[in-house]
């Protein structure tokens, strides 16, 4: 039986964000706030850089110390901008990657600096044609340097690299990298967007991934692996899904990943267009609240202390959150119904929720009916 979730890492594009939107739905934003109020540490885990991530969550009422795992794990910072951890790629390795991967697509390197020069590329027109929205939203940070190796002198270590192009071409690039001596000096993770025939290979410092960053974050917070949940939809989420004790794959993930989910026993939730993250979080929150209601004050205090919440914060939260208002009760009932739970009493509902969070069987378990 899985313990209550204390830390959840959630991907952004294709997971938190609906397919055709630039902001979270009201239900998903509310679920993030409610999770934090319940004592769950919510971490954002994305391939985006910090400056391209933080604006999405501004004005949503999230805690200033919300962890942001960015650049696929190479940089970890708080929502308020305070740095937590980062790893750089040696410039020598980056120069080698330029020579190897330039023939396959548009290359970009990210540097740990503000303003122009944070992103360096060789051909703005070519890159714009492939990832136009990204270029427009990052234009003030982009510097064109040709050849790109001129921006990668010794000591000018980048955070990461990226090469973008059609899916078949990027798969060729990935194989070329794996067959190269450089494969031992860097990590490579792939994301794919079939509707746009676009794939991105993120080139990272050796040993870096969302999974390693999540492991380090959990250790720093004193959270056990079994208490960590990861939610994602793409290939660059696999490492954190593999590491987390409770793994959730979005229904909009590629068929290859849905097959992997069945093999690994990961649960599946509705798509990003159907508030799949909110469905998962509402269930996790209901489990914590049930423990507080049925376990009494001692249990509630223990959960809160493990989550790093003070007694004063618990008292404040219980006045506004823990004693269910009519709206919260409706949210809780809706989450239970979506998870196939129609028991009317909190006791029976809690038992079924605990059972549903138990060990997954070899077939993927859907959090909501349908795939």
Domains present along the chain, CATH in parentheses: 1-86+208-371 (3.40.50.1000), 91-205 (3.30.1240.10)
pLDDT band at 312 (very low <50, low <70, confident <90, very high): very low
Mean pLDDT on 232-252: 97
Give residue 48's pLDDT band: very low, low, confident or very high (50, 70, 90).
very high
Whether 228 has a pLDDT exceeding 50, the answer reads: yes
Confidence of residue 258 (pLDDT cuts 50, 70, 90): very high
**How much of the chain exceeds pLDDT 70, in percent?**
78
Higher per-residue confidence, 252 vs 299:
252
CA distance 122 to 71: 20
pLDDT band, residue 347 (cuts 50/70/90): very low
pLDDT of residue 131: 78
Whether the predicted pLDDT of 341 surpasses 50? no
**Strand order of the sheet with strand 142-144?**
142-144, 119-121, 106-110, 160-165, 198-205, 186-193
In terms of pLDDT, which residue wins out, 314 or 95?
Answer: 95
- Statement: residue 278 has pLDDT above 80: yes
Give yes or no for residue 297 having a pLDDT over 60: no
Average pLDDT across the chain, whole number: 84
Question: What pLDDT is recorded for position 353?
Answer: 40
**Which runs of E-coded beta strand occur in the chain?**
7-10, 41-45, 67-70, 75-78, 83-86, 106-110, 119-121, 142-144, 160-165, 186-193, 198-205, 228-232, 246-250, 267-269, 365-366
Give, in degrees to the nearest 5, the angle at Cα 175 between 75 and 104: 80
User: Rounded mean pLDDT of 332-341?
Assistant: 42
Q: Is the pLDDT at 321 greater than 50, yes or no?
A: no
Q: Give the pLDDT score at 302.
A: 58
pLDDT for residue 339 is more than 60? no
Please answer whether residues 170 and 131 qualify as being in contact, where contact means their C-beta atoms are separated by less than 8 angstroms: no
């Amino acid at each position: 039986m899985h313990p209550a979730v204390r830390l959840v890492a959630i991907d952004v594009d294709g997971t938190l964000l609906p397919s055709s939107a630039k902001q979270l739905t009201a239900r998903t934003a509310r679920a993030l706030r409610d999770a934090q109020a319940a004592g769950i540490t919510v971490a954002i885990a994305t391939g985006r850089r910090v400056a391209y991530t933080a604006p999405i969550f501004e004005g949503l009422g999230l805690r200033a110390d919300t962890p942001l795992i960015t650049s696929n794990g190479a940089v970890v910072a708080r929502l308020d901008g305070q740095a937590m951890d980062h790893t750089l790629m040696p410039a020598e390795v980056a120069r080698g990657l330029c020579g190897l991967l330039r023939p396959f697509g548009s290359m970009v390197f990210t540097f740990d600096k503000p303003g122009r020069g944070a992103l360096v590329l060789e051909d703005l027109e070519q890159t714009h044609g492939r990832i136009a929205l990204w270029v427009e939203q990052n234009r003030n940070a982009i510097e064109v340097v040709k050849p790109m190796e001129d921006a990668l002198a010794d000591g000018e270590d980048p955070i990461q690299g990226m090469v973008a192009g059609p899916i078949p071409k990027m798969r060729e690039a990935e194989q070329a990298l794996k067959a190269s001596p450089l494969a031992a000096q860097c990590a490579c993770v792939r994301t794919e967007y079939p509707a746009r025939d676009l794939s991105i290979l993120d080139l990272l410092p050796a040993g870096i991934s969302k999974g390693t960053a999540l492991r380090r974050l959990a250790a720093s917070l004193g959270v056990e692996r079994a208490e960590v949940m990861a939610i994602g939809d793409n290939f660059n989420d696999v490492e954190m899904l593999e590491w987390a004790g409770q793994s959730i794959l979005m229904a909009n993930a590629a068929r290859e990943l849905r097959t992997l989910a069945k093999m690994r026993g990961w649960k599946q939730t509705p798509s990003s267009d159907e508030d799949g993250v909110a469905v998962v979080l509402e269930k996790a929150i209901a489990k914590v609240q049930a423990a507080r209601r049925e376990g009494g004050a001692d249990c509630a205090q223990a959960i809160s202390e493990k989550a790093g919440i003070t007694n004063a914060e618990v008292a404040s939260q219980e006045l506004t959150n823990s004693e269910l208002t009519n709206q919260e009760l409706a949210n809780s009932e809706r989450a239970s119904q979506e998870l196939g739970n129609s028991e009317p009493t909190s006791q029976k509902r809690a038992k079924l929720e605990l059972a549903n969070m138990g060990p997954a069987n070899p077939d993927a378990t859907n959090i909501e009916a349908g795939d």
